[in-house]
Amino acid sequence: MLFAWVLAEMLGAPVPAVPMLLAMGALVGMGNYSFAPAMALLLTAALSADLVWYVLGLQKGPAVLKFLCRISLEPDSCVSNTRTWFKKLGAWAVVLSKFVPGLGTIAAPMAGLSRMPAWKFLLADAAGSALWGSAYLGTGFVFRTQLEDVGQVAIRLGGSLIVVVSIIAVLWIGGKYWQRRRFIKSLRVARITPEEVLERLSDIAILDLRSAMEVELDATRIPGALWFDRKELEQHQQLIPRDRDVVLYCT
């Protein structure tokens, strides 16, 4: 069960493995299982799933990353956030990714896309998986008595607990969706269609503010557009023409 649960989460299924790790840690503390086999199963499952994503990122990186970001709860910032993590931390991003919601699944294909050496990825991924597993197994081990009490309460509550947890999950996802819709609505203040841009190419200036990773994923550039990362807008502002309308483009 531990192996299947961890494997499913690492492959991207919406099944959190943390409760399973806590439960296994508690069982280790009660003497029903030993720590070494549990950690071996966890590492095997995590490395197997992450290696699949790494190879997919290596072979079909842009398409895989686009797909994962499209189904995430933060599709507008998914690529840029992941790229920022890798730019700042390098292989350490893989080590820490298990502890950051949303980054765990994306880190492996991003490592493949960025051509991180396989040995370096496997070493970093093994270290991250071991830290992640040890943290939750250890927590379950230390608080095994309290977890047993929680389990008894959950059994008594039965279906009521499932309803409460489901309502909380729905409210959280609904809140993220509303936040995204509000953000998109705020961008519609002054918009121009691609057709209008095409008609006015001769009398407007286009600023392409996508990050380097976004440009690589899209594999397209707008002819005649000025391109620099949006985070560098201030230092390049002197390049922006002041004698015509300016169209900002960003994905």
Q: What is the pLDDT of residue 200?
A: 83
Quick one: 241 exposed, middle or buried, by C-beta within 10 A (0-12, 13-18, 19+)? exposed
Out of 26-35, 135-144, 163-172, least confident range: 163-172
Per 3-state DSSP, what percentage of the chain is helix, strand, and coil (rounded to 5)? 70, 5, 25
Question: CA separation (Å) from 80 to 74, 76, 230?
Answer: 11, 8, 11
Q: Count how many Cα atoms sit within 13 Å of the Cα of residue 6 in the half-sphere of its side chain.
A: 27
Q: What is the pLDDT of residue 13?
A: 75
> What does DSSP assign to residue 13?
-
Task: For the sheet with 245-249, list strands across it.
Answer: 226-227, 204-208, 245-249
Closest among 94, 106, 91, 85 to 12, alpha carbons compared: 106
Q: What is the pLDDT of residue 45?
A: 92
* 247: enclosing H helix or E strand: strand 245-249
Q: What is the pLDDT of residue 184?
A: 67
Out of 83-97, 146-160, 192-206, least confident range: 146-160
Mean pLDDT of all residues belonging to the chain:
78
